[in-house]
Structure 1
Amino acid sequence: MNGMLFPELYKSLESVRWDMERDIPWDKFDASKLSDEQAITVKMNAITEWAALPATEMFLRDNRDDSDFSAFMSVWFFEEQKHALVLMEYLRRFAPQHVPTEEELHAVRFPFDPAPPLETLMLHFCGEIRLNHWYRCAGDWHTEPVIKHIYDTISRDEARHGGAYLRYMKRALSRHGDAARAAFAKIGVLMASARRTEKPLHPTNLHVNKDLFPNDTVQSRLPDPEWLERWLDEQIRFDGSWENKVVDRILHNMSILFEQKFATAQELNRYRKTVTARLASEQDAAANA
């Protein structure tokens, strides 16, 4: 279909789709292995997954000229909301006092300011890699069998979503050349340098609406805005070894995308500077032509 990616991505994602009733071993639940503290973290993750709703609204608004990518959003949005739903179903069955209210879910639906589509694409690609690792780490922390299975299941979805975003990034390189390289490298450096920042960088904790600042991150609108750092640092203990896995995956994929090896964020940053300089000289030449 004229090089559209959506038909193929739909087919591949559909072929591995899991069923909430059949594929989650609800009957294996062990009440002795779920604490109140753990149930609350499930609630918070359900709410953050619900934030795919405003993210989808942003993607559709900012990609009006790209119907292929916008169509893919139908699958991404469906699967992300399904993640929220399976976490809420777990709570409904086993810890109903912690099921998020409709008001708590709706609080994370707010408008995101328009942003450059290529940078946003790369940001969400990195976000899927990070979420895949967060959920794998969370699965290791939990001891209750059903929630372990759920985190494993949704972490695999996040990895597949990252792969789909990568396909659109490859297409962007062929369409936009250095403009796409510069955008992807810029966000890649930011995300691969996360270990040197005060907090983990993910779409849920970046500021996205100037008029609502500082209450303009998904995290700031959770029932407990301090939860994410506590979950990562004190509960699931997403430490330096896990962070290194995230950075390695980002650099590995950037190496594939740009067809040259990046072992560190610094190497990627040097590449970014080269591309940015080349882009600037091309723009100068065009302006003076």
Structure 2
Amino acid sequence: MLYPELFKSLEQVRWNMETDIPWDQFDGSKLTDEQAQTIRMNAITEWSALPATEMFLRDNRDDSDFCAFMSVWFFEEQKHSLVLMEYLRRFKPEFVPTEEELHNVRFEFDPAPALETLMMHFCGEIRLNHWYRCASEWHTEPVIKQIYKIISQDEARHGGAYLRYMKKALIEVGDSARAAFAKIGVLMASARRTEKPLHPTNLHVNQSLFPNDTVQSRLPDPEWLERWLDGQIKFDGEWEKKVVDRILHNMSLLFERTFGSVQELNRYRKEIVTRLAATQAQPA
């Protein structure tokens, strides 16, 4: 069981919203309405950890270890939303999200294969870590710069925890897990080929609600994410390369095989799929 160890390690580095955020360093001359609006959108997006947790608990009902870890993940993700809202409450109260806006991103996700969802969220944590690091550099107001830095570190730790559960799945499930992780790894590391940013909050998750079945589509400004990344924080090709390199590095650690490109990871995926098919075709 991983939960007790993960709880202890995350508890040791948990930050305090009152004492670890330098509220007294706020400089109002360095915060614009445009910046406050991006903080508002991120606060609402982070609130979607609520339906994601409900999905994880439903789809991993047979894995009490992972579901117990969700108590830590959910707490820390909701804390991200809370600290962003607290920042706005103190310094730009007119931008604080309404309860209705927060509730609008709570909707049911269709059931999905648990291992593929785990890998998708692992990649999402890596991407969010880099988005927030980039946002910290873009902002000029000292307090929000520090907040984005702090929550980016949380996202990196969450990715590390997910990786532990992925390693556990390789031991327990074997090639089925390898195939699932490699498949989603290829998808999530191929963001340059897609029109929209590849992150769990930007993927369709409820067929009956399509096309309003992504978290981003249910924000007050559904087009905000692309504008934030491309026109504001300037999450460019150099930043994207860091995300892809990090995914490939972790896949290399996970599968104990070096992947220098998405193409190499895809070749590995095909090998595993072929091996699985051969195994399943063998007579009992």
TM-score with structure 2 setting the length: 1.00
Q: Which amino acid aligns with 2:4?
A: P
Residue in 1 that maps onto 2:134 = 137
Residue in 2 that maps onto 1:223 = 220
Q: Secondary structure at the match of 1:166?
A: helix
Unaligned 5+ runs, structure 2: none
Residue in 2 that maps onto 1:93 = 90
1:251 to 248, 253, 257: 248
Q: Which amino acid aligns with 2:17?
A: M
1:190 to 187, 191, 203: 187
Shift of 1:268: 0.1
Shift of 1:95: 0.3
Q: Does residue 181 in structure 1 map to residue 178 in structure 2?
A: yes
Structure 2 distance, partners of 1:8, 1:145, is 34
Shift of 1:232: 0.2
Shift of 1:166: 0.1
Residue in 1 that maps onto 2:200 = 203
Q: Does residue 274 in structure 1 map to residue 275 in structure 2?
A: no
Residue in 2 that maps onto 1:242 = 239
Identity of aligned residues (%): 81
Q: Secondary structure at the match of 1:139?
A: helix
Q: Does residue 159 in structure 1 map to residue 156 in structure 2?
A: yes
Shift of 1:101: 0.1
Shift of 1:34: 0.2
Unaligned 5+ runs, structure 1: none
Q: Which amino acid aligns with 2:113?
A: P
Shift of 1:196: 1.7
1:200-236 deviation line (CA, Å, top 9, x unaligned): 1000000000000000000000000000000000000
Shift of 1:118: 0.2
Structure 2 distance, partners of 1:140, 1:195, is 22
2:147 to 150, 154, 162: 150
Structure 1 distance, partners of 2:220, 2:251, is 36
Residue in 2 that maps onto 1:17 = 14
Residue in 2 that maps onto 1:213 = 210
Q: Secondary structure at the match of 1:120?
A: helix
Q: Which amino acid aligns with 1:187?
A: I
Structure 2 distance, partners of 1:187, 1:101, is 34
Q: Does residue 284 in structure 1 map to residue 281 in structure 2?
A: yes
1:5 to 2, 5, 10: 2
Structure 1 distance, partners of 2:65, 2:5, is 11
1:42 to 39, 44, 50: 39
Shift of 1:57: 0.0
Shift of 1:120: 0.3
Residue in 1 that maps onto 2:114 = 117
Residue in 2 that maps onto 1:84 = 81
Q: Which amino acid aligns with 1:212?
A: L
Shift of 1:195: 1.4
The number of residues matched between the two structures is 284
Structure 2 distance, partners of 1:67, 1:47, is 29
1:87-132 deviation line (CA, Å, top 9, x unaligned): 0000000000000000000000000000000000000000000000
Shift of 1:138: 0.2
Give 4+ residue runs of structure 1 displaced > 2 Å after superposition.
none
Residue in 2 that maps onto 1:104 = 101
